[in-house]
Amino acid sequence: MKGVTTIPIYNDIELIEIKKEFDDNVLNFQEYKRSPNNPEFNLVNEKIKYVLGGAAFLGNPSSFHNETVRKIRLKAQNIVQKNYI
């Protein structure tokens, strides 16, 4: 039998904290040229778009290699290995 499931990794409070941590990391992605006045905007004062298209993937090296994403992947891996393998 094949299918998918959802495995809880973070509770609601942890999820809010990890989202804030990741959002802070995004402001430091090196692939984007930022306004010196506001890191959420580019050099021509337009809001930076990190994702284009319907899939909503962050496909840049900074999104894969940053410590928050590594922490999320490691926690998910540990929970799956401990409880489901």
Q: What is the pTM of this model?
A: 0.75
Identity of residue 73:
R
Q: 9 falls in which pLDDT band (50, 70, 90)?
A: very high
Tokens of 61: 């090296």
Confidence check: pLDDT of 54 > 90: no
Q: Is residue 5 part of a domain?
A: no
In a domain, 9, yes or no: no
Distance CA 78, CA 85 (A): 10
Number of independent structural domains in the chain? 1
Domain-embedded: residue 7:
no
Q: Give the DSSP letter of residue 30.
A: T
In a domain, 31, yes or no: yes
Give the pLDDT score at 63: 82
Does the pLDDT at position 56 exceed 80? no
By the 8 A CB rule, do 66 and 25 touch?
A: yes
Q: Is residue 13 part of a domain?
A: no
Domain of residue 50, residue span = 20-84
In a domain, 32, yes or no: yes
- Across the range 19-47, mean pLDDT stands at 94
Q: What is the pLDDT of residue 59?
A: 77
Asked whether residue 25 is domain-assigned, the answer is yes
Q: Flag whether 10 is in a domain.
A: no
Per-residue confidence (pLDDT) for residue 65, from 0 to 100: 84
